[in-house]
Amino acid sequence: MALLYPDINFLGIEIREALVVEANENCNHLQLPNLYFLFCNINTHIEELLKSFHLGILNCVSIQFPDPWFKRSHQKRRVTQADLVCTISSNLSSNGHIFLQSDIQSITNEMKEEFMKNSSVYEHGENADLTSNYFTVLTEREASTLNKNKLVYRALLQSAHDHN
C-alpha cells in the first residue's frame, strides 16, 4: 500500500514486538518513508497516539485478523473494545472508512456490531459486507487463508459525521 500510495502515510500497530521489528526492517530496506510500524496495545495507547492531532486525522482504519480470544474469560482482550471504537470513530475524517476483516465470521460480525453501536459510523452502502479486500493489497494472513480455500469475512463502515 505504501508503494502504491506514496503521498499517504501508513501506520501499522501490532502487539507482537518481533513482527514490528521485522516489518520496520523491511520498510527501511524498501526505503518507505510513508510507512511505520509501532509496537503497542492499541486499546491502552490510542489516546496517547492521537492526542497531538486534530479530530478527523484518521482517513482509514483497518482491523485485520485480530486474535479471537475464544475463551469467555479472555474476551475482554479482544481489540474492538467500546473505548477504542469511540476513539477511532471520533477521530475519523468526515469521509473516512473503517475496514474490518477476519477468517472467523463471528469475529467480523462482532467488530462490525461494536462499531455500529456508535452513531458516528454506518455501513458503507451495498458494499458493507465485502467479498474482496477494500485495499486490493492482501495481507500475508489473508493470502494464506485464501490459499487454503477458506473464506475471509469483511465489512466496510463509513464516517457519519463532519469535522468542519
Cell numbers that stand for 54 in this block: 486534530
CA distance 92 to 160: 9
Lowest mean pLDDT among 28-37, 118-127, 135-144: 118-127
pLDDT tens-digit map of 14-46: 889 999 999 999 999 999 999 999 998 888 888
Q: How many domains does the chain have?
A: 2
Residues involved in catalysis: 67
Task: Determine the residue type at 8.
Answer: I
State whether 114 and 35 are in the same domain.
no
Identify the band that residue 126 occupies on the pLDDT scale cut at 50, 70 and 90.
low
Q: Which residue has the higher pLDDT, 68 or 128?
A: 68
Cα–Cα distance between 52 and 8 in angstroms, integer?
Answer: 19
- Clarify whether residues 16 and 97 are in a common domain: no
Confidence of residue 69 (pLDDT cuts 50, 70, 90): low
Is the domain of 89 the same as that of 126? Answer: yes
Give Cα separations from 145 to 33, 76, 80, 109, 152 (angstroms). 29, 26, 22, 18, 7
Tell me the average pLDDT of the chain: 84
Q: Which domain holds residue 6?
A: 1-40
CA distance 89 to 84: 8
